Amino acid sequence: MKSKLIQSRPIKLARGNVKPRVVRHEVRDEIQRRILSGESKPGERLSQQSLARELGVAQGTVRESLLELQWLGLVESVDHLGVFVEKLDAARICEAYLVREVMEGLAARLACRTASRSDISDLRDTAERIYKLAQEGKAEAASMDRIFHLRITQMTRNDTLLRLSKTYRALGMIVRAFREPSVIYAEHTRIIDAIENNLAEEAERQARLHVLGARETIEAQANLGKFVPQWVK
């Protein structure tokens, strides 16, 4: 049975002016959505032939998409058996958060040298929006939070760092913020203040403390058996 997304908005491969690279990204994003939303279950075998037929694309496009997802840690390739959905539990996510702590600390440090007044203004506006949405209990706060952190990484103008950040950002799409909005807002503000004042060491320290707080919350919930991955669009 085809998914609702495929029924209502089918992916069309490289017809007309559509570039193959764009199509591959659409296929990758669709398979990623299925995995992170739980539609594709851990251990499920992903058939290239079936996916190609269902999505209306070439098998080569699906193969390239699965290779990208393997690099992100969402699927595993087993010799002579195929490609399978990886298990995404608290332990895997906390591994990603350990890496994220280092990477986002570095991003905040580097952003001190490159951030413009407009960048700082955008960060403050985003932090305010996250706080307001979180206070209202809206799920959009989580997606805005990802935008906030991605923006800092983009501000570094370091393409290598931006590519490496894709791994933990993908896993972050199944983690909702479980901490108090006021705490998150205060941490975001301290990161912005340090970047604005070109305090590289402080910016890195605050960014790392922010990610550490999130990881410790996940670990605490996991220890109580209360952590359940929830896909955030």
The domain spanning residue 103 has which CATH number?
Answer: 1.20.120.530
| Total count of domains within the chain | 2
78 and 151 assigned to the same domain: no
Specify the DSSP class assigned to residue 74. S
CB atoms within 10 A of CB 132: 15
pLDDT tier for residue 230 given thresholds of 50, 70 and 90: confident
> Tens digit of pLDDT for each residue in 83-138?
999 988 899 999 999 999 999 999 999 999 999 999 999 999 999 999 999 999 89
How far is C-alpha 124 from the geometric centre of its chain's CA atoms? 21
pLDDT over 80 at 45, yes or no:
yes
CATH of the domain at 46: 1.10.10.10
Q: Is residue 230 part of a domain?
A: no
| Full domain range(s) for residue 11 | 4-85
Integer angstrom CA distances of residue 154 from 144, 161, 165, 178, 233: 15, 9, 10, 26, 20
Task: For residue 45, list its beta bridge partners.
Answer: 84
195: in domain: yes
- Alpha-carbon span 150 to 64, nearest angstrom: 24
- pLDDT bin (cut points 50, 70, 90) of residue 3 is very low
Full-model pTM: 0.82
Q: Phi/psi of residue 177, each to 5°?
A: -75, 125
